[in-house]
Structure 1
């Protein structure tokens, strides 16, 4: 089907965004976690948050935050390694429902997509779009047990901003005549392409809202941020976005970069900035369910000359340790003595990840990380606070402690089954023990049992069926 720009006279573009997706799946499948703070991602010493439930977000926890910082903010949260197979299954169910709305579905990540209703719903008005979107939201809830926020507007830009306005579990439809009123009062940082550096530059010249940007002089804006970036931002601020909804969208790369306020020459500081970017890239790879073979370092010198150095790995990876090792080796080969104003790290050559638990890779230490101090005693997990084979009563105040050692056979949140007790999930492990809570999506909150971690009656299991 030919792909054209959306009809700017109708709110025909939907943006679908599953609410706190990874954490919501965990709360759905684990009744004891419903209504409680849940953090999904790397659980090790250098872990990175992939998704936080809304209860955890109330503590200021967000995506790409170091897990140890998240633990400091909410030590009673459940920190889970994630179950990629479960997330993939739910994503496929939701995208199948989206394809029933229209053949024009552009999937952005596991939990996010655009839909252009034009081919299947001619003559759309606000009432019709609202009806279609509400029926879709109800079907998602019935099929998956999850909530999805939907924004609708005349463009991808407006639809995406609308879907985020009243999350979670909301529908916002923006008629074409109201899009300027919607965008105008918003902070300029809400526009795509306005990051911390660009936002600071705009603020310094008095451009704080989208309306301020829409009224800005184009020539001045181009001088500040460059022609392509400046003209693009001005178009967005004026609600001009002709980008079509492209079905079967495939990302070509995942990257992160930073422009420094002062040129950097210290290799150690540049290496640390690169490691942080690797963490962000790893989170995005996890969210997209992909890994990549080629690692690229982008560096812009003091004189604005730009260098790109790449290394292709033997196998695709999403592991922060492997990406960081390649990136740091590339960085080591570049002369930085005169100053670096921009640094970026990217992964390309993407392919669908094949291992069941992609998020476990976020626990791997980055190159150069030291282990905890010799002789340091880790805090106890829930599994270490109960007798082997013991049972804790429902409602017990059992904290979710620090992670199991990286080489543990059991990861927090993992689906398991016991020959006697049935299906459950790993709540904690360490010092030769593993604690399991036996419950499922349609059971009451379950009881806890602790076993030796090599108990022959305990087995890994597939995700439970909703």
Structure 2
């Protein structure tokens, strides 16, 4: 029995969510750009297919995007709608497969292996089209679907007929399918690796096939060489799990103007600690390591981390550790800060730990009261909005800089 894996990829997801959130504005335009403000250092999160024809793409400065497409409707990321539609799409997919994995907010893997009798031996493409139509009818979200015997091939197949397309790689046709792509099209082959291979004469996947494994190992090292060697021949062992272990949670902000005042930076650090703590608790996790990242005005990045003997989850504990790390970074180098970030890693679930006595946390151990207060704050913000409960330090200073944020591991 061959594995049957589908990748459901939401088409221009953030744009579609923006259209659904604002049907009288963004919903009536073919030219929509989602992202930060052009008056600050905002960047494009996503662009409609119409705007993409003008050269607009994710990651470019919003100011440049507007110059390319001046008639576009520019809207911020509709966070509430993005979250709601993610769960709605997932609920539909769960009805078609016993194993569904959310790879990101807008990508879902389905393991259809062994469901042939359930669907009366209909072709996998026919099943995929029924899934596609069900998601559209019940959520308003367009998806493209790729199918193959492995995860990576399914992901690449989903990109072939976007938007609202289906492409299935038949068992035995994997190598032929891969031969059409450039190496840089493979998920996991970044610009540096692609350039390294290009210098050796390998641009297309088919250029790699004649190269033996020992030679590839001498170029790339053992693990990466074997992975690429097999994938170039259509051998993809990637499978679907109901939940992939989360490695980190982080939030960061790029400021409209460089910030040099240490007190102001600590206030903004507190905002990030609150966001990071909320994301951590939403996943039912605690963290052992806190990391602070600073990018200076000359684009130099510096970071510092601290690993504690016991995991934490409260905003207070995250902030107090992060503040000590930030002070250490600023003591080694002053000057304007362009970006500030807080991350947590070495995550564990609530069920894996008893009450933490974090004796060496700056400001004292994390207590049950800290956790109770943090969880109560989460409930209030969930019911009344993010601004329903804000730390007093943030309210007093209330910086208005038009910052833009980026969630870390959930992206």
Computed over aligned residues only, the root mean square deviation of the Cα atoms, in angstroms, reads: 4.2
Q: In structure 1, what is the Cα distance between the partners aligned to 2:212 and 2:327?
A: 41
Distance 1:153 1:327, change over 3 A: farther
- Cα distance in structure 2, aligned partners of 1:332 and 1:58: 48
2:371 paired residue number: none
Q: CA deviation at 1:36?
A: 2.1
Which residue of structure 1 lines up, in the alignment, with residue 221 of structure 2?
226
In structure 2, relative to structure 1, the CA distance for the partners of 1:150 and 1:125 (3 Å cut) is: farther
Counterpart of 2:6 (choices 11, 14, 36) is 14
How far apart are the structure 2 equivalents of 1:198 and 1:100?
Answer: 39
2:18 paired residue among 8, 19, 26:
26
Whether contact under 8 Å (2:174, 2:235) holds in the other structure is no
Counterpart secondary structure, 2:315 = strand
Select 1:253's aligned residue among 248, 260, 269.
248
**Is 2:44 the partner of 1:42?**
no
Structure 2 unmatched runs, 5+: 251-274, 295-301, 308-312, 317-321, 334-340, 350-374, 387-398, 404-411
Deviation by residue 1:154-177 (Cα, 9 ceiling, x = unmatched):
111111000011111101111012
Aligned in 2, Cα 1:406/1:200: closer, same or farther, shift over 3 Å?
A: closer
CA change 1:65–1:173 in 2 (3 A) is same
**What is the Cα deviation at residue 127 of structure 1?**
4.8
The corresponding residue for 1:59 is 54
Change (3 A) 1:70 1:327: farther
Please give the secondary structure, in 1, of the residue aligned with 2:133: helix
Partner of 1:189 in structure 2?
184
Matches within 5 A, 1:58-77: 58-77=53-72
1:295 is aligned to 291
Could you tell me whether the CA contact under 8 Å between 1:297 and 1:331 is conserved in 2? no
CA distance in 1 between partners of 2:228 and 2:217 (Å) = 10
Give the corresponding residue for 2:90.
95
Provide the TM-score with structure 1 as the length reference.
0.56
Deviation, 1:149, is 0.3
The secondary structure found in structure 2 opposite 1:108 is strand
* Structure 1 residues 5-404: aligned runs within 5 Å: 9=2, 12-29=4-21, 30-33=23-26, 34-43=28-37, 45-122=40-117, 127-253=122-248, 294-295=290-291, 309-311=304-306, 315=315, 347-349=343-345
Other-structure match for 2:402: 406
Inter-CA distance 327–161: structure 2 relative to 1 (3 Å threshold): farther
Structure 1 contact 25–87 (Cα < 8 Å) conserved: yes
Distance 1:228 1:315 in 2: 39
Query: Residue 16 of structure 1 aligns to a residue in which SS?
Result: strand
The structure showing larger relative contact order (alpha-carbon pairs under 8 Å, at least 6 residues apart) is 1
Q: Distance in 1 between matches of 2:209 and 2:163?
A: 29
Distance 1:297 1:331, change over 3 A: farther
Q: Tell me the TM-score normalized by structure 2.
A: 0.63
Larger helix proportion, structure 1 or 2?
Answer: 2
CA distance in 2, matches of 1:194, 1:64: 18
Paired with 1:46 and 1:330, the residues of 2 have a C-alpha distance of: 24
Separation (CA, whole Å) in 1 of partners of 2:127 and 2:325:
47
Paired residue secondary structure (1:177): coil
Deviation at 1:346, TM superposition (A): 8.9
Residue aligned with 1:167, SS: coil
Deviations 1:40-90 (A, max 9, x none): 122251212222111122222222222223223223222211221111111
Change (3 A) 1:41 1:184: same
| Partner Cα distance (1:182, 1:331) in 2 | 52
How far apart in 2 are the matches of 1:328 and 1:54? 45
Q: SS of the residue aligned with 2:161? A: coil
Secondary structure in 2 matching 1:150: strand
